């Protein structure tokens, strides 16, 4: 089963964190992502540019600056996880949520939906 995990946070929230927190989280992410990769559970991870650099394209080619979900927190990081069960993916998300002190969104990828 394949899932995507999303970390939502505003860029200014990240910048407001202490340097010690940022170092601790950077180290945690490097170690934990490596562990997941060694167990063949982490397929890929993406770190997105700040939401201030986002562009939204709407119907009739209308362009708008900023994230699509203006009332919520934008996605900052995405993990693609492959695991034998939803329970295992939730365990992984719990670890991220606990260390990052935030909510992690978990979404199952529909079977057969991935294209080359």
| SS3 label, residue 100 | helix
Question: Is 66 domain-assigned?
Answer: no
> Are 46 and 78 spatial neighbours (Cβ–Cβ below 8 Å)?
yes
Quick one: pLDDT at residue 71? 66
Which CATH number do you get for residue 102? 3.30.70.1060
98 alpha-carbon distance from chain centroid: 14
Residue 21: both structure tokens together: 């927190």
Across the range 21-36, mean pLDDT stands at 96
Which is more confidently placed, 112 or 12? 12
67 domain-assigned: no
Question: Would you say residue 30 lies in a domain?
Answer: yes
The per-residue pLDDT for 70 is: 62
pTM score of the predicted model: 0.85
Structurally, the chain folds into a number of domains equal to 1
* 114 domain residue, yes or no: no
Strands (E), the chain: 2-8, 42-47, 55-57, 63-65, 75-82, 104-108
Per-residue model confidence as pLDDT tens digits over 55-106: 888 887 777 766 666 667 888 999 999 999 999 999 999 999 999 999 999 9
Report yes or no on 68 lying in a domain.
Answer: no
Query: pLDDT per residue over 35-62, tens digit each?
Result: 999 999 999 999 999 888 888 888 877 7
Task: Judge whether 6 lies within some domain.
Answer: yes
Q: What is the reported pLDDT for 113?
A: 64
What distance in Å separates the CA atoms of residue 90 and residue 41, rounded to the nearest whole number?
Answer: 13
CA 113/CA 45 separation, integer angstroms = 19
Q: How far apart are CA 108 and CA 6, in angstroms?
A: 11
| Domain membership flag for residue 39 | yes
Q: What is residue 10's predicted lDDT score, i.e. its pLDDT?
A: 86
Do 43 and 2 form a contact (C-beta atoms < 8 A)? yes
For residue 88, give its domain range: 2-59+73-108
CB crowding 25-51: b at 16 or more within 10 Å, else e: eeeebeebeeebeeeebbeeeeebeeb
Position 55 scores a pLDDT of 82
> pLDDT at position 115, please?
63
Is residue 113 in a domain?
no
């Amino acid at each position: 089963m394949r899932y995507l995990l999303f970390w939502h946070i505003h860029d200014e929230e990240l910048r407001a964190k202490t340097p010690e927190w940022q170092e601790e989280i950077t180290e945690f992410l490097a170690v934990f992502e490596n562990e997941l990769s060694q167990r063949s559970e982490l397929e890929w991870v993406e770190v997105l540019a700040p939401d201030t650099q986002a562009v939204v394209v709407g119907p009739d080619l209308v362009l708008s600056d900023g994230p699509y979900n203006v009332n919520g927190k934008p996605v900052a990081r995405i993990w693609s996880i492959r695991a034998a069960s939803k329970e295992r993916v939730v365990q992984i998300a719990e670890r991220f949520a606990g260390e990052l002190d935030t909510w992690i969104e978990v979404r199952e990828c529909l079977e057969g939906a991935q294209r080359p």
